[in-house]
Amino acid sequence: MGALLVVGSVALDSVKTPFGEVTEVLGGSATYFSTAASYFTTVRLIAVVGEDFPEAHVKFLKSRGIDLTGLERRPGQTFRWKGAYTHQLNEAQTLDTRLNVFETFRPNIPDSYRAPELLFLGNIDPELQLSVLEQVKRPSLVACDTMNFWIERKPEALWRVLEQVDVLIINDGEARALGRNPNLVQVAKEVLSRGVKHLIIKRGEYGVLMFNQKQMFGAPAFPLEAVLDPTGAGDTFAGGFMGYLSSTGNLSEESFRRAVVFGSVMASFTVEGFSLDRLRALDYKEIEARFQEFKRLTHFEDIR
């Protein structure tokens, strides 16, 4: 299958968890997504960074085979995010957000990127997500992410995006806010009735739920001995999910289920280190081995 295009953020993160602290490390939704997806397929990235963005990070992304033609470098400072986690590790407390050059980011799709096979719209203003959709030839599959800020501030634009999207990948808090309902099954019914074909709800340590008009599918989170930093786990999940689908060209129900597990596998590696440290050191054989462990974890025989 052809290339996978992602539009999102590249950032410098400062994170504190009960297990350590890092300052100004590589982060951003598009970074986690494209790094995870690069283990499966060719990734093209569209984002913006400032003149202070370290060259070492550019080299790392290139070393993963990620096409950075669409990475814009502008005068000014790179987007920065600072967050902290308690022992529960479920949700970060945001301590500081400085959008910097990301504040005026307007995705401009290079001609060579305008016919992607798969497109992932990272967590950006829904107006910008719509502008990306207008600039590309309709891909085989469009997936997107969003967050509570856009759900509350720009619901109409967001629903216009969702009418054109095949897969929505959000966490449980965002799903409840979007559907205005605490019950995730009822939320799924509402969201699917509005045009989205597949709703994937990330539930952190409780795993993932996938809904479509015909059925639902659930996968647990992989039980880990060490969870150091959950930052980027959701974006990594999306990268593994979309990367796998891109690598096979198979968009069947069975393939979607495998993609959910590959997404869960990639997320399980991410949380074992800070920033992208664990993903940097990853080998594809480890990904396959953990996929098989997932299979054993969830396998059971039918009633005799």
Identify the DSSP state of 11: E
From the CB of residue 189, how many other CB atoms can be counted at a distance below 10 Å?
Answer: 15
- Mean pLDDT along residues 74-88: 95
Residue 187, beta-bridge partner list: none
The predicted pLDDT at position 205 comes to 87
C-alpha to C-alpha distance for 28 and 8, rounded to whole angstroms: 8
Cα(277)–Cα(296) distance, integer angstroms: 27
What's the pLDDT tens digit per position in 20-55? 999 999 999 999 999 999 999 999 999 999 999 999
Dist. CA 192–CA 211, nearest whole Å: 8
Strands 11-17 and 80-84, by their bridges, are parallel
List the structure tokens of 180. Answer: 């205005």
Instruction: Look at residues 141, 148, 194 and name the one whose alpha carbon lies nearest to residue 171.
Output: 148
Pairing of strands 208-211, 198-202: antiparallel
134 close to 110: Cβ distance less than 8 angstroms: no
Task: Find out whether 227 and 272 touch, Cβ atoms under 8 Å.
Answer: yes
* DSSP for 222-255, written as a single string: PP-S-----TTHHHHHHHHHHHHHHHH---SHHH
User: CA 2, CA 39: separation in Å to the nearest integer?
Assistant: 15
Structural element, H or E, at residue 80: strand 80-84
pLDDT for residue 149 is more than 70: yes
Map out the domains of the chain as residue ranges.
4-298
pLDDT at 88 over 90: no
Query: Residue 2: its pLDDT value, please?
Result: 60
Residue 63 predicted with pLDDT over 70: yes
pLDDT above 90 as % of the chain: 94
Strand partners, 118: 4, 141
pLDDT band at 304 (very low <50, low <70, confident <90, very high): confident
pLDDT higher than threshold 80 for residue 139: yes
Residues 6+ apart with CB under 8 A from 17: 84, 85, 89, 228, 229, 230, 274
* DSSP letter (8 states) at residue 30: H
Quote the mean pLDDT of the chain. 95
Closest CA to 270 of 1, 9, 37, 71: 37
Per-residue pLDDT at 181 exceeds 90: yes
pLDDT one-digit tens code per residue, 116-125? 999 999 999 9
Q: How far is residue 193's CA from residue 127's CA, in Å, rounded to a whole number? A: 22
Produce one character per residue of 117-132: b if its CB has 16 or more CB atoms within 10 Å, e if not: bbbbbbbbbbebbbbb
Beta strands at 118-121 and 141-144: parallel, antiparallel or unpaired: parallel
What's the confidence (pLDDT) of residue 89?
Answer: 83
Query: For 4-298, CATH number?
Result: 3.40.1190.20
Rounded to an integer, what distance in angstroms lies between the CA atom of residue 98 and that of residue 11?
A: 10
Report pTM.
0.97
Residue 1 has pLDDT above 60, yes or no: no
